[in-house]
Chain A
């Protein structure tokens, strides 16, 4: 593998609280290359906080610490707020769960896409508009001219999310973090949005971090999967070999999932072992079928 796009070593995010600090993310280490990396875990596992910390969006009172947080050659820990703003959108971008909340309700969607282009590439109005129309086409919107002039409330959820993706990718970032990008969408629309994201990420040779609670989705979409529990990565494995996962938490989650065509009277319930909360000493290696077998 060529040099990773993102290198994270011992990332921790801590929120101070009345009863001591809450460690939302604990010593998380991983790298992202030109691949699709999935982060799965239940609510509160720290998967979103990890994504936000990489983007520099974990604001005080949260404390972010890392031994290494490198985007290409840039040390993200050393960046000022101003410098970070220049990186967000240009070098790394984030798509959030619900387009209803992440798009500006009083701005035409096309202008929102064009704005990113102008901000980061210093283009003229006409250039930015042309680029935005092209981008709308790239996310498979069939009538870009018409959609350009629409407001967010006039578009469907799936279309809104495609517009978000267009806005995020127009300045050509090398890393896209998608935090539950399809959870607010209908199942039939989910796969389309993922297909579009997949196509663009492949074409542009980008790295993608897909954060999701949906094990099926992550294992069918990503190349590698990180499993988080209580702020730590408990398992890293090739997506194809998720079924052979070793950690009892991952196995418990998979077993608890109802499955079409496998009718069980009772679903096995996840028994949480307090030992899973203990700090994991060494960073984990990716478990693949070859190594694990």
Chain B
């Protein structure tokens, strides 16, 4: 895990050897430059349904992806077979493809002076002794907590325990080589509730790189039941224009829309609603959205991006103003800018919270729609046009009144970002995008 990125260590680990092998072949076949990535994972997924073991899946596999450049022509190839002759064949295939692609001066490896050199231990690897028997106990306890919590919980899609130990290595012909081991653990549950008006299901999960970070099996089960029960007897509401509060677990989707709009590939294609917006006020004053790539014990942290470029903590939105894009080295060259170390995505993108907890956010909204689930594909990154299926709760006097379903919410992302009233401190830490609940002053809600 630790060491200098530019000088391969002795015993460089399990999978680095395949990267070295691929780069050796690339050099032997006379390509100008090359990079290779190997990922291997090992783990299992165990599901208990209605108290009994339903399925066990054992996972053990991986792939090697090699990219070669002939001048500024590019070709890639992937294989799941790590035998010597197949790796050679993959490199040959990538080179052959590069022969048919066109010169693009922006193609190439990441700038050498931007490659990560320092790797300190992010504490992401926690192999555990959770064997099948233990996993079965966890899943049973989780599902049982949900099933026995209320007579209206009548069925289950099961509780699942997933474990994964993965090793990834990336190297390029500029001498970069780095290998990293991470572990991940997920416990999830999904149950079905029923009343005379029909059935509803919901789920909950907990996730971390160390089993000790996970919520207890019982609390995951109880949360699953609670979320399922509160959906029962959902009603419809009339079409209206009201404040909308995005519950924390789905509020991250709004930030994902931001990332889509400021990502290099959308920008150089002029296919973004946030084209040429650097320096503009996109969010209300006071809003800060930033990357935290070096958080310890946090899945999503890394000292390098997918091209080996050193990651840095940075503000993307500062005081509501767009400060930077989300670029890899290719899109950066296309735009005449520098890479922001975002090949492969953002690293723990975080919107800073205000002072209010979830109850405080409901009070602040007073009357409006709390959205707990979003459905559909109605986000247009080119125009910012937003129209999504939604369900949640009708809120009056700052209190949830009753569950509502079969609604859509619509607006334009640029307007929605500008209309953020506050961000709660009820932050959902389970994913790579971290946010509390987000209140938007008004949106079109379509119902009956």
Q: Do A and B bind each other?
A: no
User: What is B's interface to A at a CB cutoff of 8 Å?
Assistant: none
Chain A interfacial positions (CB closer than 8 Å to B): none
